[in-house]
């Protein structure tokens, strides 16, 4: 069975965005070590899952980076060339290349995707989409990129009590700490 990985940047007080979706607190000047870490994380991935809100900026941004000689690195090509599935209750169709709209409810669709032949799947999204993945226990690996910022208020992804097992952690010179967790099933 394929693994579903979540990769998300998070503040030290547990938010993935400010109260109005602000992301100006995130560190984007990643050092070479963090770039290599993310490359290794995404290398075994052959499908990307996105919530609608993030997809609208994500897909176009990566396509632009991949087509620009100054920004067209392996990561840009990986994100641009990898097939994507967008989850939305409002979209009727998608216009992006290599992208399809999820046809069924979240749990049914992801369960089918995970049971198909293929490599790992990675999810990116906003608080609503990611919270739904967590609430339905669909994520196999949590890759949290902990930013050295506290927001005081914002959009959380964890709504209920859950316990996790730390699998690995790595601190990077840019200040981000990568934390890999697996959820411990409730007994």
Position 42 scores a pLDDT of 94
Count of other CB atoms within 10 angstroms of residue 11: 20
Query: Of all residues in the chain, what percent carry a pLDDT higher than 90?
Result: 68
Query: Domain containing 114 — which CATH number?
Result: 3.40.430.10
Position 70 scores a pLDDT of 63
Span 138-180, pLDDT tens digits = 999 999 999 999 999 999 999 988 999 999 999 999 999 999 9
pLDDT band at 66 (very low <50, low <70, confident <90, very high): low
Q: What is the mean pLDDT of residues 37-43?
A: 94
Residue 180 makes CB contacts below 8 A (sequence gap 6+) with 141, 142, 143, 144, 166, 167, 168, 169
- What is the extent of the structural domain holding 118? 4-184
Position 124 scores a pLDDT of 94
Span 92-138, pLDDT tens digits = 888 888 889 998 899 999 999 999 999 999 999 999 999 999 999 99
How many domains in the chain?
1
């Amino acid at each position: 069975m394929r693994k579903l990985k979540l990769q998300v940047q998070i503040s030290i007080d547990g938010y993935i965005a400010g109260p109005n979706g602000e992301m100006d607190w995130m560190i984007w000047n990643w050092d070479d070590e963090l770039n290599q870490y993310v490359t290794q994380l995404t290398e075994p991935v052959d499908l990307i899952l996105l919530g609608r809100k993030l997809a609208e900026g994500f897909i176009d941004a990566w396509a632009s980076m991949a087509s620009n000689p100054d920004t067209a690195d392996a990561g840009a090509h990986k994100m641009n060339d990898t097939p994507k599935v967008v989850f939305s209750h409002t979209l009727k169709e998608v216009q992006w290349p290599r992208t399809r709209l999820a046809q069924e409810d979240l749990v049914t669709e992801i369960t089918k995707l995970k049971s198909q032949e293929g490599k790992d799947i990675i999810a990116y999204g906003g608080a609503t989409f990611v919270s739904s993945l967590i609430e339905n226990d669909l994520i196999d690996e949590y890759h949290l990129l902990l930013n050295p910022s506290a927001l005081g208020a914002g959009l959380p992804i964890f709504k209920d009590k859950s316990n996790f097992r730390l699998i690995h952690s790595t601190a990077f010179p840019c200040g981000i700490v990568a934390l890999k967790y697996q959820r411990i099933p409730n007994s």
